[in-house]
Amino acid sequence: MEEAILLLGGNLGNRELVLAQAMEKIEEYIGEITAHSSIYESEPWGFEDKNQFLNQAIKVNTQLNPQQLLDKLLEIEQSLGRVRTGKLSARTIDLDILFYGNQKITTETLTIPHPRISERLFTLLPLAETMGNSQLPVLKNTAQELIQVCQDRSKIHIWNYKDNL
């Protein structure tokens, strides 16, 4: 059994419902979710779009190896309407592996830890909430330390569904 830390996000359709459906499918096909952050709303990163993203970090215990985990996440994305265009764009759901235990992995299809963790507030803020003051695997920093030096100035806040009715 290994602990994986994932980031869920999307900006198309019923964003909160799609996140909830992704978490259900992760529990069903990948393993038990042991912790999750609040849901954060942020502007698109790396491209322009009128729709804001919702993002959430989760910890999951899995028996899948890293490649199996990636393959299952891609299946879940597709089942939830994700269409891959090969570039940064609007999407119903994006499921990224941030960490897989303490492993560092670089293959043609997979890089762990995720290579852009330290560049994105929409990743670091939910990660900080999920990980607390623990050092991040492999990186040996806390998420809070990475937030302090992150150059991303995107607008991001905890999303409250009731405020958005």
Write down the catalytic residue from 94, 120, 152, 163: 94
Q: Would you place residue 83 in the very low, low, confident or very high pLDDT band (cuts 50, 70, 90)?
A: confident
- Specify the pTM: 0.92
* Interval 55-61 mean pLDDT: 97
What are the structural domain ranges in the chain?
A: 2-164
pLDDT tens per residue, range 33-43: 999 999 999 98
Write down the catalytic residue from 15, 71, 82, 163: 82
Q: What percent of the chain has pLDDT over 90?
A: 75
| pLDDT exceeds cutoff 90 at 160 | no
| Residue 84: active-site member | no
Q: Which residues contact 133 (CB under 8 A, 6 or more apart)?
A: 142, 144
Under DSSP, the state recorded for 88 is: S
- The one-letter code for the residue type at 42 is S
Q: Would you place residue 93 in the very low, low, confident or very high pLDDT band (cuts 50, 70, 90)?
A: very high
| pLDDT exceeds cutoff 50 at 20 | yes
* Interval 58-79 mean pLDDT: 97
Write down the catalytic residue from 96, 116, 153, 163: 96
CA dihedral for 122, 71, 100, 160, sign (positive or negative): positive
Q: Would you place residue 140 in the very low, low, confident or very high pLDDT band (cuts 50, 70, 90)?
A: confident
Q: For the packed helices 15-29 and 66-79, what is the interaxial angle rounded to 10 degrees?
A: 140
Residue 73 has what pLDDT? Answer: 97
Q: Would you place residue 165 in the very low, low, confident or very high pLDDT band (cuts 50, 70, 90)?
A: very low
Under DSSP, the state recorded for 64 is: S
* Interval 61-82 mean pLDDT: 94
| Residue 91: active-site member | yes
Q: Can you name the CATH fold of 2-164?
A: Alpha-Beta Plaits (3.30.70)
| pLDDT exceeds cutoff 80 at 82 | no
- The structure tokens listed for 161 are 């569904």
* Interval 37-55 mean pLDDT: 86
* pLDDT, mean over the chain: 91
- The one-letter code for the residue type at 19 is L
Highest mean pLDDT among 8-12, 39-43, 62-66: 62-66
Write down the catalytic residue from 84, 91, 120, 153: 91
